[in-house]
A and B are shown apart, each in its own frame.
Chain A
Amino acid sequence: MYDFVTGPLAWLAFLVFFVGVVVRVIQYIRGLDWKLDRVTYTVNVSYGIKGALRSIFFWLFPFGTRSWRSYPFLTLLVFSFHIGILFTPIFLIAHNVLLLERWGFSFWTITEAAADFMTFLVLVSAIFLVLRRIALPEVRIITIAYDYLMLAVAVAPFFTGLMAHYQSGNYQFWLILHILSGEIMLMAIPFTKLSHFVGFFLSRGQLGMDYGIKRGGMKSKGLDW
């Protein structure tokens, strides 16, 4: 089982993830239509690029926009959650040892304590995100089961990773579950709303171009996000 999930299935997961994400990006861009969207994407390009970069840049930082500043607690949750999810797996020592063994290269690594802390933040943020969904009427009304499923898919590798790391119970069991859940998450990205992995940049970029090219970007410093 271990050989299977770290061998063929891992290859498949990475393949689905990379190809899927690239296809998503291509499909998105091909589906843009200057006349339907009413944005001249290919004419006023410099305004478009400026608008897109502004729209992405300000939103990439906690408290970088008025909206983030309006919800300080949620902002902390969202950023802790995403930073943990994105950086922990890439810079984890265990993953990099594996990378070096299998493919002969590795990235920088973070200390185990840092990795534990970030994993912990992911889990705690996830719990609060769930509580928020239940507690706030304006979030509850738009919440569907799918939202919880996606959260579970995203959090599962962290939960199982932590279990495996501390070897509570059966190490092999948790390890395989950990690898499997990581692979499921990777493969889910292109097909579910986890596609916001790239969709965030595409959608933000598009709206930024809309504002940069058409809605005032040529007559002002740019929208005050």
Chain B
Amino acid sequence: MPEGTLCNKIPVNTKEELLTLLADKSGKTYYEEMNHLDVDHAALKTTLDKSCKSRIRTWLEICAHCGMCADSCFFYLANNKDPKQVPSYKIQSTLGEIVKRNGNVDNAFMQKTMDIAWGKCTCCNRCGMYCPFGIDMGVMFGYLRGLCFSQGFVPWELKIGSGMHRIYRAQMDVTSEDWVDTCQWRMEENADDWPGLEIPIDKENADIIYTVNAREPKHYPEDLDEAAILFHLAGENWTVPSVGWEETSLAMFAGDWEGCRLQVQAVYDAMERLKPKRMVVTECGHAYRATVIEGPYWAGLKSGKTPVPSFHYVEWVAEALRTGKLKLDPSKKIKEPVTYQDSCNYIRNAGLSDCAREIMSYIAEDFREMRPNREHNFCCGGGGGMNGLGRYREERNVGLKVKRDQILATGAKLVISPCHNCWDAIRDLEEIYKVGIRWSFLKPILLKMVIVPDHMKPVEE
């Protein structure tokens, strides 16, 4: 059974393997090796028998082939209503065939399946809302990704991403020491401007344990500053864990369920160790989805809930503004038209649309809803790992057109986007289509408006 040295059925578990894979620029050798990768039919059949149960089999069987899912898919709309982008077609011609043939599919079929599972679906779950039978093709594509991953048919970047989680318990090569150092460095950097500012590490019994996206310590340390300053101003008793601080899960995008389990277990262990009252997650959509919504299931928690109640950053902000923990200067409200990008992962798939509106009522004078919005909003175009996949860059860029047009229709030039993936996608759509929009997380916006009590201001010398 030909297994490549880079492209094979074994996940990346060591730093050496990871470095070798990273050294293969753009995955050139990796994808070449994929052409020779065998499909392990017996293993695929066993996996199907064990994990493809009545929910998915019923979905595949009763699909009425009515096409009502077509218009729900932004890829279908962005590709001039190409019938090959109809969600039902995409899932029936991939997972549907695998199930029908009981795993008896070849290499070409698996590559085609991979290209659809990652290149034509972001698992935004919008189609499931428009199907009369409640057939959630996003859920099925998530499952399909797992099948592909187990057979080694996974985009190069996500094999790396899943390996990162397995090795570092983070989506990037940020070690626990790196993280702690970054926290201390940022604390020192801000000490003059913010007397008394702390980033407490491993403090037990805090009210809030704060967890982040590894990109923040690695590339956007100012995000960590802003989070610390806002907690400081709100008078929160908070902490960050030295281990288990990362919320994201490229393993989820990859369909590496064991990697997913390892990642969320690290966060849950931090909760058990430090016994905070609750957890707050940074402005990231899939991080919340992975660790708060899906994670308890990967970790086998029968309650379906995280060990301590967990909140997305927008929930904390809405609460802080509502209760007056954070007070904003009304004269600094955003005057220009501004819109809000509803992230699929914490709005459609976690029910937090009201929090977003509540926040906008405090910060914007002219808030313009996109159409459609809330749970019905379209994916930004970069979800499900799509932003990071070189192989599907062109597909991603075409898909961005739907979000571009939605934003333009609001007349707003500023998009509030409290989700890393959406933030990236909107940045990229501006880069590609040059429509003259700006985008921002909440934290920098809030910092510009928040009223700083005198005793918290630096002492003039």
Residue-wise interface mask of A (184-196) relative to B, using a CB-CB cutoff of 8 A (1 in contact, 0 not): 0000000001011
Q: How far is the CA of A136 from the CA of B67 in the complex (A)?
A: 9
Whether, in the assembled complex, A109 has its beta carbon less than 8 Å from a beta carbon of chain B, the answer is no
Whether, in the assembled complex, A224 has its beta carbon less than 8 Å from a beta carbon of chain B, the answer is yes
Pair A203/B135 contact, Cβ less than 8 Å: yes
| Chain B proximity of A194: nearest CB distance (Å) | 9
Whether, in the assembled complex, B332 has its beta carbon less than 8 Å from a beta carbon of chain A, the answer is no
Whether, in the assembled complex, B198 has its beta carbon less than 8 Å from a beta carbon of chain A, the answer is no
| Most chain A beta carbons < 10 A, residue from B131, B349, B351 | B351
Residue-wise interface mask of A (13-35) relative to B, using a CB-CB cutoff of 8 A (1 in contact, 0 not): 00000000000000111111111
Pick from B128, B297, B315: contact of A207, CB under 8 Å: B128
Pair B374/A35 contact, Cβ less than 8 Å: no
Q: How far is the CA of A197 from the CA of B310 in the complex (A)?
A: 39
Pair A203/B297 contact, Cβ less than 8 Å: no
- B residues 50-86 with Cβ under 8 Å of A? 51, 53-55, 57-59, 61-68, 70-72, 76, 81, 83-84, 86
Q: How far is the CA of A138 from the CA of B83 in the complex (A)?
A: 5
Pair A39/B59 contact, Cβ less than 8 Å: no
| Chain B proximity of A134: nearest CB distance (Å) | 12
Pair A138/B81 contact, Cβ less than 8 Å: yes
| Most chain A beta carbons < 10 A, residue from B64, B128, B303 | B64
Q: How far is the CA of A216 from the CA of B57 in the complex (A)?
A: 25
B455 proximity list for chain A (CB < 8 A): none
B89 proximity list for chain A (CB < 8 A): 141-142
Q: How far is the CA of A142 from the CA of B94 in the complex (A)?
A: 13
Interface size on B, residues (CB 8 A): 55
A59 proximity list for chain B (CB < 8 A): 132, 134
B316 proximity list for chain A (CB < 8 A): none
Whether, in the assembled complex, A139 has its beta carbon less than 8 Å from a beta carbon of chain B, the answer is yes
Pair B76/A138 contact, Cβ less than 8 Å: yes
Pick from A27, A70, A74, A214: contact of B293, CB under 8 Å: A214
Whether, in the assembled complex, A223 has its beta carbon less than 8 Å from a beta carbon of chain B, the answer is yes
Whether, in the assembled complex, A213 has its beta carbon less than 8 Å from a beta carbon of chain B, the answer is yes
Pick from B86, B134, B352: contact of A220, CB under 8 Å: B352
B55 proximity list for chain A (CB < 8 A): 31-32, 37, 203, 206
Whether, in the assembled complex, A66 has its beta carbon less than 8 Å from a beta carbon of chain B, the answer is yes
B51 proximity list for chain A (CB < 8 A): 36
Pair B351/A137 contact, Cβ less than 8 Å: no
Residue of B nearest to A222 (CB): B351
| Most chain B beta carbons < 10 A, residue from A30, A133, A193 | A193
| Chain B proximity of A178: nearest CB distance (Å) | 25
B131 proximity list for chain A (CB < 8 A): 67
- A residues 133-160 with Cβ under 8 Å of B? 133, 136-144, 147
| Chain B proximity of A198: nearest CB distance (Å) | 10
Pick from A136, A137, A147, A224: contact of B376, CB under 8 Å: A224
Whether, in the assembled complex, A89 has its beta carbon less than 8 Å from a beta carbon of chain B, the answer is no
Pair A35/B83 contact, Cβ less than 8 Å: no
Whether, in the assembled complex, B304 has its beta carbon less than 8 Å from a beta carbon of chain A, the answer is yes
Whether, in the assembled complex, B173 has its beta carbon less than 8 Å from a beta carbon of chain A, the answer is no
Whether, in the assembled complex, A225 has its beta carbon less than 8 Å from a beta carbon of chain B, the answer is yes
- B residues 283-318 with Cβ under 8 Å of A? 293-294, 297, 300, 302-304, 315
Whether, in the assembled complex, A215 has its beta carbon less than 8 Å from a beta carbon of chain B, the answer is yes
Whether, in the assembled complex, B194 has its beta carbon less than 8 Å from a beta carbon of chain A, the answer is no
Q: How far is the CA of A44 from the CA of B83 in the complex (A)?
A: 39
Pick from B130, B132, B304, B352: contact of A200, CB under 8 Å: B132
Whether, in the assembled complex, A38 has its beta carbon less than 8 Å from a beta carbon of chain B, the answer is yes
Pair B83/A140 contact, Cβ less than 8 Å: yes
Pick from B54, B293, B300, B315: contact of A28, CB under 8 Å: B54
Pair A67/B88 contact, Cβ less than 8 Å: no
| Chain B proximity of A107: nearest CB distance (Å) | 27
A147 proximity list for chain B (CB < 8 A): 64-65
A86 proximity list for chain B (CB < 8 A): none
Q: A32-B53, A200-B132 are contacts. A142–B62 as well, Cβ < 8 Å?
A: no
A143 proximity list for chain B (CB < 8 A): 65
Pair B132/A216 contact, Cβ less than 8 Å: no
B72 proximity list for chain A (CB < 8 A): 67
Q: How far is the CA of A67 from the CA of B73 in the complex (A)?
A: 13
| Chain B proximity of A4: nearest CB distance (Å) | 32
Pair A223/B304 contact, Cβ less than 8 Å: no
Q: How far is the CA of A59 from the CA of B68 in the complex (A)?
A: 13
Q: A34-B297, A140-B83, A216-B348 are in contact. List 10 more A-B contacts (CB 8 A).
A: A139-B66, A142-B88, A143-B65, A144-B65, A147-B64, A196-B64, A200-B62, A203-B55, A216-B349, A220-B351
Q: Residues of B with Cβ closer than 8 Å to A?
A: 51, 53-55, 57-59, 61-68, 70-72, 76, 81, 83-84, 86, 88-89, 92, 128-136, 139, 293-294, 297, 300, 302-304, 315, 348-354, 372, 374-376
A-B contacts, 26 of them at CB < 8 A, read: A28-B58, A30-B54, A31-B55, A34-B297, A35-B300, A38-B294, A40-B302, A40-B304, A55-B134, A66-B130, A66-B376, A195-B61, A196-B64, A199-B61, A200-B62, A203-B58, A208-B134, A214-B304, A215-B349, A216-B348, A217-B351, A219-B315, A219-B350, A223-B129, A224-B374, A225-B129
